[in-house]
Structure 1
Amino acid sequence: MLFSRVKNHIIKANWLAVLIDFLIVVVAVFVGMQLSNYITTQNSRADFSQALELLEKEIEINHLAVAKVDKQAAQSLQIVGDTLDILLSCSDSDANRVLVNQGINELRNTYGIYLRRHALQQLTSNSQLITHQTEQQRQRFTDMLIRFDLTQVNSDLAEDHPLNKRFEDNPLLSVGPRLSLSYQDRGEDTPHIRKIKLNAPIDVACKDNSLIKAFVTWERWQGNLLPMMAQIRNELHATEALLKARE
């Protein structure tokens, strides 16, 4: 209808009316664009707030994950470390053999950390969400994602590398009866496995370089987990503090 009116005004050479109609169109388009931008901005702000809330939840979950890995890794490192000390002492006794067999079976277990990062990735990659962040927030989120990525690489190495070489192939070790164990700390059931035990005196085993190196390799790589968890915990606390500061 507006275009028909403009056409009639042009035919009648009513240029003032044409100008008025033109201004009406311009104003309508401008108002429409502003309204659209406002709605987009409001939706973007809502998405940003939602992303921050999700990040807070992810941080809580990651704190629990770090605490769990800390506990598991520390316990295993203690067992393996004590076993290695006994082996290096070459002191053979029934009590020492029990501890050594416990440590040998602990070599089967390796741990790693898997961190929640969906909200963090959104906050560091979504251009709309980035526009609502302060410079401090952008830097904090980026730093934490870098630390997460680096930790994942190192965690995968710590978890996989000790298992690359089969220590069970050592001729000083023998296979026992099939057992069904439930590792409650891991939150999962372990399938049927067979216990492995030392079938030689400790004063003989202590001279077996491949057996000693299996313990050293495990201890070296799994020992990296504890400082990694400390670094992740620092990142989580720093981001928590920043998120609380905005409230």
Structure 2
Amino acid sequence: MILRRLNEHVRSQNWLAVFLDFFIVVLGVFLAVQLANWNEAREARARFAFLQRELVAETEANLAAAIRFREAWSERLAGVRLVIDTLRECREGDEARADIERGLDLVRSWPVLQFNDTVLAQLTSDESLRARQSHEESTQLAGLKRFLDRMEQDAAFLSGRFSAHPIERHSLVGYGDRIPPAESYNNVDERLLVLTAPLSEVCSDADFARIFYEWERAGVFIAYQSERMVASLQQRLETMGAMP
């Protein structure tokens, strides 16, 4: 309609009308572009606000996972140290054997650490979302992402290291009764591990004791990292609570 009218005005050399028609077309295009940009900006603001709220929930869930991981490590580390004390003192009796055999099942598997960073990954990788963050907030989010990734990598590395040399391959270790599903640490191991030699022989086997010493060393490192992890997530939640 406008183009037909514009052609008519050109043929009649009505330049004022041509100018007005042209202005209307340009104005219409400009308003359409501005409206699209406004809608896009509104959607981006809404998405950013939504992800900020979701990040709080995600961080709370990750904090709960970190606390469970720390508690699992604390429990296992205590059991491993009891085995080490029993071996060092070469204790005898059914109680000492039971303590060591409980330790066998503690070190055969590894607590799993897995965070949900879906929201955090979006906030740190999407350029349109990063543009809405202050420099300080962007730096904090990127640092948190690197820290969580590093924690998962450390846990996975140590898990792979010990999984490559399972304690059940040791000549002093054998298989016993089936594990009730409710008592399994990882829902994978089917049978309890038991000692196949007298305690006097077990206490004198340096390779056997070394397994627990190495596990203790790794456990102390992970326990330290777990404390840092929990503190970092708690601090981040406090920061989020101070945000408008």
TM-score, length-scaled by structure 1: 0.91
CA distance in 2, matches of 1:129, 1:179: 49
CA contact (8 A) 1:77 1:222 kept: yes
Moved more, 150-159 or 194-203: 194-203
Give yes or no for the alignment of 1:7 onto 2:7: yes
- Specify the alignment match of 1:172 in structure 2: 172
Instruction: State the 1:85 CA deviation.
Output: 1.9
CA shift digits 1:198-233 (9 cap, x unpaired): 233333222212211221232233333222222222
Q: Which runs of 4+ in 1 moved over 6 A?
A: none
2:219 aligned residue (209, 222, 232): 222
Consecutive unaligned residues in structure 2, runs of 5 or more: none
SS of the aligned residue for 1:224 comes to helix
CA contact (8 A) 1:111 1:222 kept: no
Instruction: State the 1:103 CA deviation.
Output: 1.1
1:207 aligned residue (204, 208, 217): 204
Amino acid at match of 2:93: S
- Specify the alignment match of 2:118 in structure 1: 118
CA contact (8 A) 1:161 1:221 kept: no
Instruction: State the 1:109 CA deviation.
Output: 2.7
Superposition RMSD on alpha carbons, in Å? Answer: 1.9
Moved more, 154-163 or 134-143: 154-163
CA distance in 1, matches of 2:239, 2:55: 12
Residues 181 and 223 of structure 1: is their aligned pair in 2 closer, same or farther, counting only changes over 3 Å? Answer: farther
How do residues 74-223 of structure 1 correspond to structure 2 at under 5 angstroms? Answer: 74-183=74-183, 190=187, 193-223=190-220
How many positions carry a matched residue from both structures? 244
CA distance in 2, matches of 1:192, 1:72: 17
SS of the aligned residue for 1:44 comes to helix
Residues 217 and 192 of structure 1: is their aligned pair in 2 closer, same or farther, counting only changes over 3 Å? Answer: closer
Amino acid at match of 1:121: A
CA shift digits 1:166-201 (9 cap, x unpaired): 3212222232233324138x6x7x357222222333
CA shift digits 1:83-119 (9 cap, x unpaired): 0121122233333222112112222231121111000
Amino acid at match of 1:22: F
CA contact (8 A) 1:84 1:212 kept: yes
Consecutive unaligned residues in structure 1, runs of 5 or more: none
Amino acid at match of 1:35: L
CA distance in 1, matches of 2:53, 2:118: 12
CA contact (8 A) 2:112 2:155 kept: yes
CA contact (8 A) 1:157 1:221 kept: no
Identity %: 24
CA contact (8 A) 1:72 1:111 kept: yes
CA contact (8 A) 2:83 2:99 kept: yes
